[in-house]
Amino acid sequence: MGAMNPGLFYAMLAFAIWGLFPLYFRQVAAAAPVEVVLHRAVWSLAFIAMILTWRRHWGWLRALRSQPRLIVTFVCSALLLSVNAYVYVYAVHSGHVVEASLGYFINPLVNVLLGVVVLHERLSRPQWIAVALAGAGVAWLTALTGRPPWIALALAFSFGGYGLLRKTAKLGALEGLALETALLAPLVVPLLAWWTMAHDGALVRGDPGLVVWLLLAGPITVVPLLLFAAAARRLPLATLGLTQYLGPTIQLGLAIWVFNEPFDLRRLVGFGLIWSALALYSADGWRLMRRRPLPA
DSSP 105-152: HHHHHHHHHHHHHHH-----HHHHHHHHHHHHHHHHHHHHHTS--HHH
Amino acid 86: pLDDT = 96
| pLDDT greater than 60 at residue 2 | no
Closest CA to 244 of 210, 278, 284, 220: 278
**Residues composing the chain:** 296
Distances in Å between the alpha carbon of 166 and those of 2, 56, 78, 267?
34, 24, 10, 33
- Compute the average pLDDT of residues 163-183: 85
Find the Cα–Cα–Cα–Cα dihedral 238, 235, 77, 195, rounded to 10°: 110
Q: Model confidence at 120, in pLDDT bands (50, 70, 90)?
A: confident
| pLDDT greater than 80 at residue 91 | yes
- Compute the average pLDDT of residues 121-143: 90
Percent pLDDT > 90 in the chain is 62
Give me the chain's average pLDDT, please.
Answer: 89
Within a 10 A sphere around the Cβ of 1, how many other Cβ atoms? 3
- For the chain, the 3-state helix, strand and coil shares in percent, each to the nearest 5, are 80, 0, 20
| pLDDT greater than 90 at residue 210 | yes
**Residues 281, 148: contact at Cβ < 8 Å?**
no
- Compute the average pLDDT of residues 284-290: 72
Within a 10 A sphere around the Cβ of 271, how many other Cβ atoms? 18
| pLDDT greater than 80 at residue 293 | no
Q: Model confidence at 295, in pLDDT bands (50, 70, 90)?
A: very low
Within a 10 A sphere around the Cβ of 104, how many other Cβ atoms? 23
Closest CA to 38 of 188, 184, 222: 188
Alpha carbons 185 and 19: distance in angstroms, whole number: 27
Q: How many CA atoms lie within 13 A of 60 on its CB side?
A: 16
Distances in Å between the alpha carbon of 13 and those of 4, 7, 17, 225?
14, 10, 6, 10
Alpha carbons 144 and 178: distance in angstroms, whole number: 42
- The model's pTM is 0.90
Q: How many CA atoms lie within 13 A of 152 on its CB side?
A: 30
**Residues 99, 147: contact at Cβ < 8 Å?**
no
Alpha carbons 288 and 265: distance in angstroms, whole number: 34
Alpha carbons 174 and 42: distance in angstroms, whole number: 15
How does pLDDT run across 62-82, given as a tens digit for each residue?
Answer: 888 778 888 999 999 999 999
